[in-house]
Amino acid sequence: MFCCHHSEPFESKVDSSHDHVTLFQNVKVFDGKSDALAEDLEVLVEGNFIKAVGPKLEAGEGARIIDGGGRTLLPGFMTMHEHIISCESFDDMLIRPYWDEIGAKMVVRAQDLFSMGFTTVRDGGAWCLGLKRAIDDGTVVGPRILCPGAALTQTGGHGDFRLPYQNNPFFSPSSQNPEHSMLQFLGAVVRADGVAEVRRAARANLSAGAHFIKVLGGGGVASPFDPLSSFQYSEEELKAAVEEATNFGTYATIHVHLDAAVNRAVDAGFKMVEHATVLKEDTLKRFADEGITWSAQCALFLSDPATSPAYSNDTQRAKAQIVYDGMMQTTEWAKKYGVKTLWGTDLIGTRKAYLELFPTEWTLRDKVFSPAEQLQQATKNGGEAVALSGIKNPYPDGPLGVIEPGAYADILLVDGNPLKDISILTRYEETINLIMKDGKVYKDCF
C-alpha cells in the first residue's frame, strides 16, 4: 500500500498516547487558505495536533526532526463525496450482494483513498460507521470518515433500485411481498414516503450515529427508472428532513442535478447541494449571495459518457450526456461568483475503474479552477464542511484542512509544487512522500 518506509500500516493498534513530537523543517507551507506557498516556516506537531507554525521553532529533546528538502507541506486532502460501499458496478452489486465481499472491498477502497493523500473522507450515502470505528481504533489503516447513514429516497426515486416487479406488488401474482433492493440490503438507501416517514428515517439515522443527513431530491444518472428532470419528495418532505437535521445540531445535504430541482431544494432550506450539474447563471449567483455550499464532482460528470468506465449501460450514458453538456458552464459560473465549492468524485465501480478515474478529478477541475483554488477546495473548504456537523462532528477538538496551531495534525509532504502544477498529485505514489494523520506517520520516504 505504501512505498518507502512506513510505520506499520497494518498494525492492530495505533499509538494512542499522543506524546510524540515532530518538527518539519526546510519546507514550503500551503496552509489551506492562502494562494501561495510560505517559505521560511517550520511546523511543530505535538501529539495529534499542530502546536506551532513559524520560523526557527524549538522542538525539545527527543523530537523527530524531518528535513523536507524544500518539499511542499500541506494539509491532508479531504474528499467530500465518495461512496465507500460502491466498490462494484451497480449491475454487479444488484446480482452479487455478498456482504462480506463488499465489506472487504470497502477496506481496500478506504486505503486507496488514504494512499492518495486523503486523510478525511465524507461518504455520500451508506452505512460505513463500522469501518470508521475500525479505522479510528487502529484495527485497520485509513482516513477519517464522516457518514450520513442510508440516504433518504422516495418510492421510485433515485435510490429505489428495486426491479419493477419488486416496486409494485400488483405487477405480477408472484410479487405480493416486494423485496428490498440490494442497495437497501447493503444500507446505502432507505425508502421513506410522507413527512412522518422522512422524519422517522432521519431520526433513526442520526440516533444510530450518522453525522449528517443525505436526501435524494431529484433524478439521478445511475438510477435506471427515474427521469433526470424529476422532482423527488414534496416541499414539505424536504423541509422535514432539513428540520430534523437541524434539531440534532447538524445539517442536511441533497442530491439534485437540474436547475429547477436545485432552486426548489434551496427554497426548502438546504444550505448544501450535491452535484447540481446543470444550472443557470442566476442560480450560481444565488449560491454566492445566500452562502450555499456546492459539493461538486468533475471526474464523473466531465468524463466522456461514451467511454467512461463509471457507466455500465445505455440508460446511464444517456443521462450522463445531459449533465456532461451542462457541467462545464456551471463550473465556470461557480468560479465567477466565488461559490464555496467542495472537492469530491462520487465515483463508483471496480477498483480498476476507480483508480483510473479518481486522479482525473485534479486535472478536470484544473480546466476552470487555479491550483490554489482547487487545493483550498480539497483542504480548508472540506474542513469547514466537516464543522457544519456541529455536535455530530466526530472530530470536534480542532479544525481540519488547515496548517495552523490547534489544528489536527493531518499533514502531507509533496515532492514538487502543486500550486504550479496540480497534475503532480495524479502521480501520488511517487510525489506524496509523507502521510501523517492525527500526528502519526503512515507513509515515510525519509
Q: What is the pLDDT at residue 262?
A: 98
Q: How far apart are CA 111 and CA 105, in angstroms?
A: 10
The per-type count for the chain, helices as H runs and strands as E runs, is 15, 18
DSSP state for residue 140 in the 8-state scheme: S
Confidence category of residue 440, pLDDT binned at 50, 70, 90: very high
pLDDT digits (tens, 9 = 90+) for 23-50: 999 999 999 999 999 999 999 999 999 9
Residue 1 has pLDDT above 90, yes or no: no
Residue 183: its H or E element = helix 182-185
Q: What is the pLDDT at residue 171?
A: 52
Q: What is the pLDDT at residue 15?
A: 45
Residue 293 has pLDDT above 70, yes or no: yes
CA-nearest of 60, 62, 28 to 42 is 28
Q: What is the pLDDT at residue 88?
A: 81
Residue 404 has pLDDT above 90, yes or no: yes
Q: What is the pLDDT at residue 101?
A: 87
Q: What is the pLDDT at residue 175?
A: 47
Confidence category of residue 14, pLDDT binned at 50, 70, 90: very low
Q: What is the pLDDT at residue 325?
A: 96
Q: How far apart are CA 114 and CA 2, in angstroms?
A: 10
CA-nearest of 76, 77, 158, 162 to 124 is 158
Residue 18 has pLDDT above 70, yes or no: no
Confidence category of residue 58, pLDDT binned at 50, 70, 90: very high
pLDDT digits (tens, 9 = 90+) for 226-285: 999 999 999 999 999 999 999 999 999 999 999 999 999 999 999 999 999 999 999 999
Phi, psi (rounded to 5 degrees) for 199: -60, -45
CA-nearest of 245, 208, 435, 223 to 348 is 223
Q: What is the pLDDT at residue 102?
A: 87
Q: Higher-confidence residue: 296 or 94? A: 296
Residue 89 has pLDDT above 80, yes or no: no
Q: What is the pLDDT at residue 98?
A: 77
Question: Mind listing the domains of the chain with CATH numbers?
Answer: 21-76+398-444 (2.30.40.10), 77-392 (3.20.20.140)
Mean pLDDT of 75-81: 98
The proportion of the chain whose per-residue pLDDT surpasses 90, expressed as a percent, equals: 80
Mean pLDDT of 394-407: 98
Contact (Cβ atoms closer than 8 angstroms) between residue 9 and residue 435: no
**Amino acid (1-letter code) at residue 156:** G
Burial classification of residue 331, based on how many CB atoms lie within 10 Å of its CB (0-12 exposed, 13-18 middle, 19 or more buried): buried
Residue 295: its H or E element = strand 293-295
Q: What Cα–Cα distance (Å) separates residue 237 from each residue in 161, 251, 406, 428?
A: 20, 15, 40, 43
Cβ atoms < 10 Å from Cβ of 263: 18
Residue 8 has pLDDT above 80, yes or no: no
pLDDT digits (tens, 9 = 90+) for 164-222: 656 655 554 444 444 555 555 566 899 999 999 999 999 999 999 999 999 999 999 98
Contact (Cβ atoms closer than 8 angstroms) between residue 407 and residue 379: no
Indicate the average pLDDT of the chain: 91
Q: What is the pLDDT at residue 265?
A: 98
pLDDT digits (tens, 9 = 90+) for 334-380: 999 999 999 999 998 899 999 999 999 999 999 999 999 999 999 99
